[in-house]
Structure 1
Amino acid sequence: MVSGGRGVETEAMTSFDEIYDRPDPRGFFRALGAWDYQTPHHAQEVFRRLVATRADGAADVAVLDMCCSYGINAALLNHDVTLAELYDRYGSAPVVAMDTAELIEADREWYAARRRADAVPVIGLDVAANAIAYALAVGLLDAGFAENLEVAPPSPELLAAARPAGLITVTGGASFLSPRSFRPFLTDAPAPVWVAAFVLRTGSYRAIADGLTAHGLVTEKFGPHTFPQRRFTSDREQRYAVEAVIATAEDPEGRETAGWFHTALHLSRPEDHTTTFPLDTLLPDEPPART
């Protein structure tokens, strides 16, 4: 479970498994930057808006970032940085020359100097223990857990840390999750929880949405726009994506046919919240261009 789509949905997709559990994120940015991976960039403004709405009148609201990888969503949510700046930083000659211990020390100072005044606690969940350890070491996560809820129940420590979470986020890995991974954080939650997930258009979110319905959450899909995820690595990937999107009754024209995987944003909330906070007032009119 990681940000960026860990693993492969099918053999037709290129596997990036080797980059997700290294001691630091340089390999992640190098490999995915080559294909212009940008979902966290699109999520940055969306998550900030959602957090601001959930935090109104609830000072202890926190974010549970599922499939959090190296804490990239936390970096973009809580710090005055962009995804483009992260690509530049981790590809720069001085940073490339550091060993992991040096990089952790440098990153701790770099992120601390860019911490936003409106930063909120972020709890990270991922199966990649090295990635979690890095994100904790540099201060991106307030708590982090290397657990796979698809195969085992959450630890008491994870449940306790995630209890204040008013927003659950996912920017990669939704196709590897089921309602089982979400259920522990929604059962007996002390306050309403929102779930925001960027989901590849090559698959369906229906099973998860149905599972969230059992906890009183209504799932809305942000219809006007989709969000580029990354460029295809091969013609084979593109053919797969176009066929898969058509199979879900969506139109790939101008998106997958133009050479990119695209995601759709799904937001799940209690029904009364969907009228109090209409979806179109929470999200940008246009997906932000990558800078």
Structure 2
Amino acid sequence: MAAGAINTTAGSDWGKADFEAIYNCPDPRRYFTTLQPLDYQIPHHGQAVFRAVAETLQRCRADRAPLDVVDLCCSYGVNAALLNHRLSLGDLYDRYTAHGTGVPQTRQLAREDGTFFATRRRPGAARVIGIDAAEHAVDYAQKVGLLDHGFAENLEHDEPSAALRRALAGTDLITVTGGVGYITARTFARLFDCVSSPPWVAAFVLRTVSYRPVSDLLARAGLVTEKCTTRTFRQRRFADDGERQAAFTALAGHGLSIAGKEDDGFYHAELYLSRPAADAAAVPLTELLPG
């Protein structure tokens, strides 16, 4: 498949286009050059929310500094870059689409990225563990310093390795911006088997996908799940008419209207935050979220 091409004939179970070819490249350039024309923006929304959640959680757990954050479906470490560095998603698009996919070579780009991110790191940055089945993406994110630990493991299919179990023990926060649907409650169950105490979970979930199986699992672990009811968050534009129609069909199946949301040509995600009941009572979701 040519660089930037999208396979829309073999998508996910809920009709999404297949971007598999861009998720496991040696470096992030093909990922960004493919997604930029679709105005992929959910990590931008995640940046504001995850920073606000992390700051609130840090106040709740003042003895835990820095926080241990686990980013699910971490790909090339985009969420970690935006959480821990003085950067915007636009900065990353500019960086990785400027020269196409030909130059510089991946090894040189990785060296340059190591310096680029190190000089923009925010004070009090969280420790980030990234988990993704795409081994090249995880390796790149770890190599350039975005991930403190990276694990190319598929928890839908396999139990976590001994090393991952050790790394997960002190988890404070789990984040995910687009993976739910590809990963299910099975992945979350395996994660929660490894933690010493229930972490917070902040998840952006497409409206075409039900979060109920995951929130039910988290409830059994002692967490209360709240949904942001004041807005939804654009993920990206539909790749083509087939993807749009599949999304509309899925939404109708959930009894959801597209008016004012997906009828604008974008996938829309909802934000869910799961916390222990005492934490949820202490800081209401409406006060926690950025304006």
**Shared fold per TM-score greater than 0.5:** yes
Instruction: Kindly indicate whether the alpha-carbon contact (under 8 Å) linking 2:14 and 2:246 is maintained by their aligned counterparts in 1.
Output: no
Q: Which runs of 5+ in 2 are unaligned?
A: 1-9
State the partner residue of 2:269.
263
8 Å contact kept, 1:69–1:128: yes
Alignment match of 1:22 (pick from 21, 25, 47): 25
Partner of residue 175 from structure 2, selected from 169, 177, 190: 169
1:95 Cα deviation from its structure 2 partner = 7.9
For residues 137-216 of structure 1, the aligned pairs below 5 Å read 137-187=143-193, 189-216=195-222
Q: Work out the CA distance in 1 between the residues paired with 2:214 and 2:12.
A: 16
2:243 corresponds to which residue?
Answer: 237
CA-atom RMSD, angstroms? 1.6
Q: Which amino acid aligns with 1:19?
A: I
Please tell me the residue identity of whatever aligns with 1:148. Answer: N
Partner amino acid for 2:223? L
- Shift of residue 49, structure 1, vs aligned partner: 0.8
- CA distance in 1 between partners of 2:137 and 2:241 (Å): 31
Q: Which residue of 2 aligns with 1:251?
A: 257
After TM superposition, the structure 1 stretch with the greater mean CA deviation from structure 2, 179-188 or 107-116, is 179-188
Of residues 90-99 and 60-69 in structure 1, the stretch that sits farther from structure 2 once superposed is: 90-99
What residue identity is the alignment partner of 1:220?
E
Match among 35, 51, 62 for residue 48 of structure 1: 51
CA distance in 2, matches of 1:10, 1:177: 12
Are 1:90 and 1:96, in contact at CA under 8 Å, matched by a contact in 2? no
Partner of 2:38: 35
- How far apart, in 2, do the equivalents of 1:9 and 1:19 lie? 15
1:227 corresponds to 2:230: no
Report deviation, 1:255: 1.4
* Residue matched to 2:108: 102
TM-score when normalising by structure 2 = 0.92
Aligned residues: 279
SS at match of 2:189: helix
1:26–1:96: 8 Å Cα contact kept in structure 2?
no
Q: 2:138 maps to what in 1?
A: 132
Report if the CA contact (8 A) 2:127-2:148 is conserved. Answer: yes
Q: Does the 8 Å contact 1:60/1:164 carry over to 2?
A: no
**1:4 matched residue in structure 2:** none
**1:145-198 per-position Cα deviation (integer Å, ceiling 9, x unaligned):** 001111111011111112221100011110022222122332473344101111
Hey, what's the Cα distance between the residues in 2 that align with 1:38 and 1:130? Answer: 23
Q: CA deviation at 1:239?
A: 1.7
Is contact 1:222–1:265 with CA below 8 Å preserved after alignment? yes
**Higher mean C-alpha deviation, range 69-78 or range 217-226:** 217-226
Amino acid at match of 1:133: D
Match of 1:59 in 2: 65
- Answer with 99-108 or 234-243: which moved more: 234-243
Asked whether 1:9 is paired with 2:40, we answer no
SS in 2 for 1:165: coil
Q: Please report how far the alpha carbon of residue 118 of structure 1 lies from its aligned counterpart in structure 2 after TM superposition.
A: 2.2
Contact 2:175 2:203 in 1 (8 A): yes
Is contact 2:155-2:190 (8 Å) kept? no
The percent identity for this pair of structures is 46
- Please list the CA deviations of residues 245-274 of structure 1 after superposition, one character each: whole Å capped at 9, or x if unmatched: 222222211211111101001111111221
